[in-house]
Structure 1
């Protein structure tokens, strides 16, 4: 099903060498982009430099990922797919979940993935050190670790790119979503801090529980960004007619967003109402894509903070069944 990992990398482009820096850890690794998925690699290259909250896989194993502010990752085709369990440590991926991921050790999830490069061999030990430190950040300490991705040897920096719409009202809506995304990109949104501190203005949480609402906020936010909004972008780019796109948007986005607003994500609820009210004014495919792509990036940013803030260590008393035998 997947290409053999023994096939050598083709046409590694040393002019597209990147650095991934975790300044808070004092660790930087270098990676070379290649042509296995050239469109994805080029989109990443053109978006540099940027910074993002560094995340760590919570189920799959030794894997780092963060949300990359690259709108085109949502829809660009990727011809070369691998089983990420089988590829070398240090493989760099870009995904339609809008993630830049790096394998640094054993993975258990059989997920098809789209590689775009490879960490240089001399930096694999440093990569593993970063992986362990980020795991502690996400699972235990809750001290955020920021990643910076930049062209090797170039200056540091950060930007969240803004798409434009032809219609002035649509462009204004995009501007609002973009501004909020920038505001929370490197600083946790107060709404999510309140959720994880157990403050719910709506009274959410049966019998006064807190963990239950946190869990459902996490469970609803991720698919809303990963599947709904990113799926609408892909459907638009793949030619679905505008009336069908509007119908699918109404069908898919309202219910989870209403629930999340009730749980405390009121800004998301407001943006959702604006998007739904605006659907009939989206008269071009490009304007539709611009709105949905910005909503996807905003919600994926919320999802990243959710995963960081959630008290995963609360499950320490639970052990796998095989460990009980």
Structure 2
């Protein structure tokens, strides 16, 4: 067994930091995360799964890198377990989980810091559910300085490479600051007047329902398909089928840049002549959409449903 890689995960706004060790159960995934450090990201909290923290990690390879070890049900893993996800998330279990699903562990918060982790988890839940004050996670190698950068891939076609440059710049711009389009939408400023009878919550609900799968499933799925040797022409067809309709709808709801970048992407794909370049462009679209999705989940007014609580079954 190799020496564990020690990392520090801190939330300066909360005054809390924990130390974790990345292990060799999924060594390649742990190395990819290690290589991306240091970075910062908006801290999210699970909304249906239980006591679980996650944030979007700026690591393109998380979308496609194969796991060598999986657990069948993450509910039974120790508190403090760190998971890598093909949704481009770094997740940390800090208490009871209710969602039974396989997961990819890559490390664990040291036992002495598990109580501090739970404290951070409760504070992040309050931020996501009620206060809407962003909590930024700082992830670094233990003993090293904090910092932040987003990876920028390159491709051979000049037009596609210019598009990647623009996507990278826009993702950097909104990575740690809420996108104005989403702020306007959540404050009821919707130029298209989307929302029947002047409602806003209905539009927010549909935007959330389209943004997350567009990043997680459509663009993220295209990256995985490219690395699984799907023929390039089939990849082009899949891109047109999977991305155009939801992106156009999101523009109607106020996220015009999603449609703008999607149109440019679809215009470019016939010029791309190899799967690696196709995957690179789709990876940048995925990171951009996943960043938007994270902000949308943070801004969404979950507290409006506070009166709706689970009903326990009779004993």
- What is the CA–CA distance in structure 2 between the aligned matches of 1:271 and 1:117, rounded to whole Å? 36
- The question of 1:67 aligning with 2:56 is answered yes
- Structure 1 residue 322: deviation in Å? 2.8
In the alignment, the residues of structure 2 paired with residue 13 and residue 191 of structure 1 have an alpha-carbon distance, to the nearest angstrom, of: 45
The one of 140, 143, 148 equivalent to 1:153 is 143
Distance 2:307 2:119 in 1: 26
CA contact (8 A) 1:31 1:120 kept: yes
User: Residue 35 of structure 1 aligns to a residue in which SS?
Assistant: coil
In 2, are the aligned partners of 1:12 and 1:32 still within 8 Å (CA)?
A: no
Tell me, yes or no, if structure 1 residue 46 matches structure 2 residue 41. Answer: no
Q: How does 1:125-204 map to 2 (within 5 A)?
A: 125-204=115-194
1:77 aligns with 2:70: no
1:135-179 deviations in Å (ceiling 9; x for gaps): 000000100000010000001100011001111111100000000
Aligned equivalents of 1:294 and 1:19: distance in 2?
A: 26
Question: For the Cα contact (< 8 Å) 1:13–1:33, is it kept in 2?
Answer: no
Residue 298 of structure 1: how far off its partner (Å): 0.1
Pairing partner for 1:218 from 208, 212, 220: 208
- Structure 2 CA distance, aligned partners of 1:75 and 1:192? 28
How high is the TM-score relative to the length of structure 1?
0.95
Deviations along 1:193-228, whole A, 9 cap, x unmatched? 011111110010011111000001001000000011
**SS of the counterpart of 2:244?**
helix
Between 277-286 and 139-148, report the one with greater CA deviation. 277-286
SS in 2 for 1:104: strand
1:239 equivalent in alignment to 2:229? yes
Gapped regions of structure 2 (runs ≥ 5): none
| Distance across 2 between alignment mates of 1:20 and 1:50 | 10
Aligned-residue RMSD, C-alpha = 1.2
Please, what TM-score do these two structures have when normalized by structure 2?
0.98
Point out 4+ residue stretches in structure 1 off by more than 3 angstroms.
Answer: none
The alignment covers a number of residue pairs equal to 314
